[in-house]
């Protein structure tokens, strides 16, 4: 070997022996903060998402799951919002109902999700449906079962109010109350909400926010003409988004790009589980995630409706 060849070979060996810079470490290692419990739905979803990302990197990776707090996700989201950055990538599994807690104004939700970057998420379609055709002027107010004022299901009553249809709340679990004849309308969610509604004996009235609108084109979309309408859709989205994997707002662009490429396998691999919902990445994930975090005026409109219509204000 020539002296030049020996020198180049020696430099190559030295480069392999040197520790990688911090930026390189962040490309294939990270921590996923997950709402508890350890055997809960969020943890199972996180394990599946981590496996997809690892395969998408096409090289060994070290993704650690860190379980924190309860299933409503507020404790984990609060921690994620205040964590300091490091060499590793940081992720959070964020259920839709966590964003709904914040939408209602609960003071314990001290996070701001609008700047977070969604890599991948699972989404369900949603419909406003009821018994028979939609009555424009019902002889008696429609009954809407609501578990509690701060539950996402209250959005069904808010939607009817905005449509100008007389309705009244009743306490109960919506699907059970509808099956028992104690409720007249409800929000139906799932991978195929139209089929589910019809199986319950309900007629789809309006299509609510879903990236799969083209699959349900025969159902008219819920009109969005004001911040109050957007607030209603944000509340419904608390039922629609099973979970999202998000990164902090200030994550370096090159790190985000690496993990977004790794997440490209998500829709194909999740296609084997159609009962779990629609797997979204890229612009689809960003659009769906944005519904959960509407502009401040929409958030205030929904909180005002909760106060004036149901007499509920977050403590």
Cα torsion angle, 296, 291, 70, 88, sign: negative
Listing DSSP states for the chain in one string gives: --HHHHHHHHHHHHHHHSPPPHHHHHHSEEEEEEES-TTSHHHHHHHHHHHHHHHHHTS--EEEEEEES-TT-HHHHHHHHHPPP-SSEEEEEE-HHHHHHHHTT-TT----GGG-EEEEEEE-EEEEEESSSPPSS-SSPEEEEES-TTSGGGHHHHHHHHHT--EEEEES-HHHHHHTTS-SEEEEEESSHHHHHHHTT-EEEEE-S-TTGGGGTTSPBPP--SHHHHHHHHHHHHHHEEEEEEE-TT--HHHHHHHHHHGGGHHHHHTT-GGG-EEEEHHHHHHHHHHHS--HHHHHHHHHHHHHHH-----
Phi, psi values for residue 239, rounded to 5° = -90, -30
Q: For residue 218, what pLDDT is reported?
A: 85
Tokens of 201: 């004996």
Do residues 239 and 96 touch, judged by C-beta distance below 8 A? yes
Let me know if 144 is exposed, middle or buried by CB neighbors in 10 A (0-12, 13-18, 19+).
buried
Do residues 77 and 92 touch, judged by C-beta distance below 8 A? yes
Distance of alpha carbon 146 from alpha carbon 154, whole angstroms = 6
Q: For residue 23, what pLDDT is reported?
A: 40
- Only one residue has tokens 């419904």, namely 236
Q: For residue 240, what pLDDT is reported?
A: 96
Q: For residue 284, what pLDDT is reported?
A: 93
Per-position pLDDT tens, the chain of length 315:
444 344 333 333 323 233 334 444 446 789 999 999 999 999 999 999 999 999 999 887 889 999 999 999 999 999 999 987 777 899 999 999 999 999 999 999 999 999 999 999 999 999 999 999 999 889 999 999 999 999 999 999 999 999 999 999 999 999 999 999 999 999 999 999 999 999 999 999 999 976 654 454 689 999 999 999 999 999 999 999 999 999 999 999 999 999 999 999 999 999 888 888 999 999 999 999 999 999 999 999 999 999 999 999 987
Distance of alpha carbon 11 from alpha carbon 9, whole angstroms = 5
Let me know if 171 is exposed, middle or buried by CB neighbors in 10 A (0-12, 13-18, 19+).
exposed
- H/E element, 246: strand 241-247
Beta strand 142-146 with 167-171: parallel, antiparallel or unpaired?
A: parallel
Q: For residue 13, what pLDDT is reported?
A: 31
Q: For residue 84, what pLDDT is reported?
A: 79
């Amino acid at each position: 070997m020539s002296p030049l060849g020996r020198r180049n070979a020696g430099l190559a060996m030295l480069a392999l022996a040197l520790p990688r810079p911090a930026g390189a470490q962040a490309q294939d290692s990270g921590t996923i903060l997950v709402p508890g419990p350890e055997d809960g739905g969020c943890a199972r979803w996180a394990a599946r998402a981590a496996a997809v990302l690892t395969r998408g990197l096409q090289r060994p990776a070290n993704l650690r799951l860190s379980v924190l707090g309860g299933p409503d996700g507020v404790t984990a989201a609060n921690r994620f919002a205040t964590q300091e950055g490091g060499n590793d990538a940081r992720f959070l599994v964020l259920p839709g109902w966590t964003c709904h807690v914040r939408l209602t104004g609960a003071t314990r939700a001290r996070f701001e999700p609008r700047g977070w970057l969604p890599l991948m998420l699972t989404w369900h379609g949603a419909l406003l449906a009821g018994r028979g055709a939609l009555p424009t002027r019902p002889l008696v107010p429609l009954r809407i079962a609501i578990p509690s004022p701060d539950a996402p299901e209250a959005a069904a009553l808010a939607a009817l109010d905005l449509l100008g249809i007389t309705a009244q709340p009743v306490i109960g679990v919506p699907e059970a109350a509808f099956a028992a004849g104690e409720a007249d309308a409800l929000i139906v969610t799932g991978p195929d909400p139209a089929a589910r509604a019809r199986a319950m004996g309900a007629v789809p009235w309006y299509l609510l926010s879903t990236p799969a609108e083209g699959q349900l084109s025969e159902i008219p979309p819920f009109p969005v003409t004001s911040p109050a309408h957007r607030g209603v859709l944000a509340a419904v989205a608390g039922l629609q988004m099973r979970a999202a994997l998000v990164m902090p707002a200030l994550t370096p662009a090159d790190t985000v790009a690496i993990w977004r490429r790794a997440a490209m396998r998500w829709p194909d691999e999740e296609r084997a589980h159609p009962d779990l919902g629609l797997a979204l990445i890229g612009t689809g994930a960003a659009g769906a995630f944005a519904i959960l975090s509407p502009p401040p005026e929409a958030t205030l409109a929904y909180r005002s409706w909760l106060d004036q219509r149901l007499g509920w204000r977050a403590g």
